[in-house]
Structure 1
Amino acid sequence: MIRKQILRYTANQRTNHWLVAILFFMAALSGLALFHPALFWLSNLFGGGPWTRILHPFMGVLMFVLFLGLVIRFWRANFFIHNDGLWLKRIDRVIKNEEEGVPPIGKYNPGQKLLFWTLLLCMLGLLFTGLVIWRAYFSVYFGITTIRWAMLLHALAGFVLVLSIIIHIYAGIWIKGSISAMVHGWVSRAWARKHHELWYREVTRDEHPERPISKKG
Structure 2
Amino acid sequence: MSEQIQGNAQPGDAVHPGHPVTVNRYGPWQRLNHWITATSLILLLLSGLALFTPELFFLTGLFGGGQATRSIHPWIGVVLFFSFFIFFFQLWKANLPERTDWIWVKKIKDVVGGHEERLPELGKYNAGQKFIFWGMTGLILVLIASGIIIWEQYFSTLTTIPVRRIAVLVHSIAAVLIICIFILHVYAAIWTRGTLRAMTRGTVTGGWAWRHHRKWLRQLADRRKMGPAE
The TM tier, using the shorter chain, reads: over 0.9
Q: Deviations over 1:93-118 (max 9, x none)?
A: 11111112211111010011011110
Counterpart for residue 169 of structure 1: 186
Give the Cα separation in 1 of the matches to 2:151 and 2:184. 29
> 1:75 is matched with which residue: 88, 92, 108?
92
* Match in the other structure for 1:118: 135
Q: Helix, strand or coil for the counterpart of 1:107?
A: coil
2:70 is matched with which residue?
Answer: 53
> How far does residue 2 in structure 1 lie from its aligned partner after superposition?
2.5
Give the 3-state SS of the residue equivalent to 2:163 in structure 1: helix
- Post-superposition Cα deviations, 1:108-133, rounded to whole Å, max 9, x if no partner, equal 10011011110001100000000000
1:42 and 2:42 correspond = no
Give the unaligned 5+ runs of structure 2: 1-15, 224-230
State how far apart, in whole Å, the 1-side matches of 2:103 and 2:86 are: 30
2:165 is the counterpart of 1:148: yes
Q: Is 1:92 aligned to 2:92, yes or no? A: no
Q: Name the amino acid aligned to 1:12.
A: W
Secondary structure of the equivalent of 1:9? coil
For 1:140 and 1:37, the matched residues in 2 are separated by 27
Distance 2:191 2:170 in 1: 31
Q: TM-score, length-normalised on structure 2? A: 0.87
State which of 65, 76, 80 in structure 2 corresponds to 1:63. 80
Q: Which whole-Å CA distance do the structure 2 matches of 1:180 and 1:158 have between them?
A: 28
**Cα distance in 2 between the residues matched to 1:128 and 1:82:** 32
- Give how far 1:150 is off: 0.1
Distance in 2, Cα, partners of 1:187 & 1:202: 15
Q: Aligned partners of 2:123 and 2:43: how far apart in 1?
A: 32
Counterparts of 1:6 and 1:21, CA distance in 2: 23
Q: Percent identity?
A: 40
Can you list the C-alpha shifts for 1:43-98, whole angstroms capped at 9, x where unaligned? 01000011101100000011110000110111001001111111111111111111
- Secondary structure of residue in 2 paired with 1:138: helix
Separation in 1 of the partners of 2:157 and 2:217? 53
Q: Over aligned residue pairs, what C-alpha RMSD do you find?
A: 1.3
One-letter amino acid matched to 1:162: I
Corresponding residue number in structure 1 for 2:17: 2
The correspondence for 1:105, drawn from 95, 99, 122, is 122
**Partner letter of residue 89 of structure 2?**
I
Alpha-carbon distance in 1 for matches of 2:43, 2:104: 35
Letter in 2 for 1:151: V
Q: Could you report, residue by residue, the CA deviation over 1:173-195 in whole angstroms, capped at 9, with x for unpaired residues?
A: 11001111111111111110110
Provide the TM-score with structure 1 as the length reference: 0.93
Write the distance in 1 (CA, Å) between the matches of 2:216 and 2:76: 34
Q: Is the 8 A contact 1:130 1:150 kept in 2?
A: yes
For 1:201 and 1:172, locate their aligned partners in 2 and report how far apart those are by CA, in whole Å: 23
